[in-house]
Structure 1
Amino acid sequence: MTPMIIRKAMLAACITLTSFAVAAQDRLPTISPADYNAEQAKAAEEFLAARKTPVFGPFEPLMYSPNLMNLARGMGDYLRYKPSIGNTLSELAILITAREWTQDYEWYVHYPIALKAGIKKELADRIALGQVPEGMSEDEALIYQFAWELNRNKRVSDEAYAKVETRFGKQGAVDLAGICGYYTFLAMELNMARYPIPGDGKLLPRLESAATTGKSK
């Protein structure tokens, strides 16, 4: 192979890689409402009626599948706002899930919500670092253990399950698993889409591994 052919091959490879990188940064750009098709426009109207705000955040990439977006919104209407375990503990489970998936936008949105709901800053910051929080309340500790095990091990131990069921009932256990599952779904979509965080946001630390043990202290 001559030097000229080698140079041409290298140039072609660079162009291909550059094109791929550009495309990867813009996988699912937000669709302008002016460009909605009929199905998307209907989904956006239903979203506005339910949430009292236009489509935003994780629902923007989901607008490429408007029926999925609205079904996801409906599930979120309950799990985000009316879970049987209460909003404070729900936010704790959301933070754990966002950390496990290293989902920057979920963390950007829910970190201040969690603090406002009553989660201590020190607790949330340790989760962000992949560390086991210290000084949790009894309720926080059992929610943390359940959510951590489910996210990390894809299972929940008998001990962790029994504590949640005893405290919150079977509905509480189902709702808690649902919260973890719902925000895992959103994290997958956002990570796949490479959905950006606003300019004032900070990325979660990129960890080689999260907490080595889920046992709370």
Structure 2
Amino acid sequence: MNADTAASTPPTPPSARSPRHFPEAGLSERLGPPARLDAAQQAAADALINGPRRGVYGPFRPLLHTPALLQAAAKVGETLRYEGTLDAAVREWTICVVARALSNVFEWDMHLPLARAAGVPVEALEALDAGNPSPAVLAPELALARALAEQLLAHHRVDDATYAQALARWGEAALVELLTLVGYFAMVCWLMNVAHTPGPAPASA
């Protein structure tokens, strides 16, 4: 491979290197955006393109069929990601926990690099990807966020001990934010899993 070929080859997405399968990875999208947009759909698309997301991708591809729902979901997501009070490492790590638990290729490939950039240890992300317990190097706050998210996803509730620890760690307002973060990303992961939404387009090297 010459230098020109190497420079034009996009990087391998994290999901392609995962030890566990992402069932929808590589499948043809079956619920993409409408082929032709009506006025409301076009306005919703324009709002995404001109907003912090700068495009129509991920869950907003299927959501574009229902512009009012897209706008409501987009606002919740923007509030959580761009106006939230949680530390970036807690937020991005929790999103990765949800994405890996629900085997969603888009959110995993999108947020794994963001979690690394926010300071989540690579060893912890690798353990999460493999379905293994978190290593001792993981900060207690992140270990607690994983326990809370996994309990909520598996049992649809959180036990008293975990709740007490989370309340002591984050307080009521931030705990509500964290629980909503789990719920929001579970919702969009489910939607994309059914829609076979592709992962994020890789940037050229």
TM-score normalised by length of structure 2: 0.79
Partner of 2:65: 64
Which one scores higher on RCO, CA 8 angstroms, separation ≥ 6?
Answer: 2
Residue 115 of structure 1 is matched in structure 2 by: 116
1:188 aligned residue: 190
Deviation at 1:132, TM superposition (A): 1.3
Query: For 1:47-86, what aligned pairs fall within 5 Å after superposition?
Result: 47-51=48-52, 53-86=54-87
1:105 to partner: Cα distance: 1.0
- 1:197 aligns with 199
Structure 1 equivalent of residue 156 of structure 2:
154
Report deviation, 1:29.
2.6
Q: Select the residue among 132, 149, 173 that pairs with 2:175.
A: 173
Matched, 1:106 2:116: no
Separation of aligned partners in 2, 1:68 and 1:93: 24
Q: Note if contact 2:33-2:62 (Cα within 8 Å) is conserved in structure 1.
A: yes
| 1:102, distance to aligned residue in structure 2 (A) | 0.6
Q: Structure 1 residues 86 and 155, CA, compared in 2 at 3 Å: closer, same or farther?
A: same
More displaced 10-residue stretch of structure 1: 191-200 or 94-103: 191-200
Distance 1:81 1:199 in 2: 22
Q: Distance in 2 between matches of 1:161 and 1:188?
A: 25
Matched residue count? 176
Rounded to whole Å, the distance in 1 between the matches of 2:110 and 2:131 is 18
Between the aligned partners of 2:142 and 2:200, the Cα distance in structure 1 is 29
Q: Contact 1:94–1:110 at 8 Å: present in 2 too?
A: yes
Q: Say whether 1:28 aligns with 2:31.
A: yes
Q: Which amino acid aligns with 1:195?
A: T
Residue aligning to 2:8: none
* 1:142 match: 144
Structure 1 residue aligned with 2:17? none
Secondary structure at the residue paired with 1:80? helix
Query: 1:23-72 deviations in whole A, cap 9, x for unaligned?
Result: x944213446xx31111011122223432612222211111111111111
User: Are the equivalent residues in 1 in contact too, given 2:97–2:149 (CA < 8 A)?
Assistant: yes
Q: How far 1:101 moved relative to its partner?
A: 0.7
Distance 1:85 1:197 in 2: 25
Listed as ranges, the gaps of 5+ residues in structure 1 are: 1-23, 202-217
Please give the alpha-carbon distance, in whole angstroms, between the structure 2 residues aligned to 1:147 and 1:109: 19
Q: For structure 2, list consecutive stretches of 5 or more residues without a partner in the other structure.
A: 1-26
1:182 CA drift (Å): 0.3
Normalised TM-score (structure 1): 0.75
Quick one: distance in 2 between partners of 1:73 and 1:198? Answer: 17
Distance in 2, Cα, partners of 1:25 & 1:50: 28
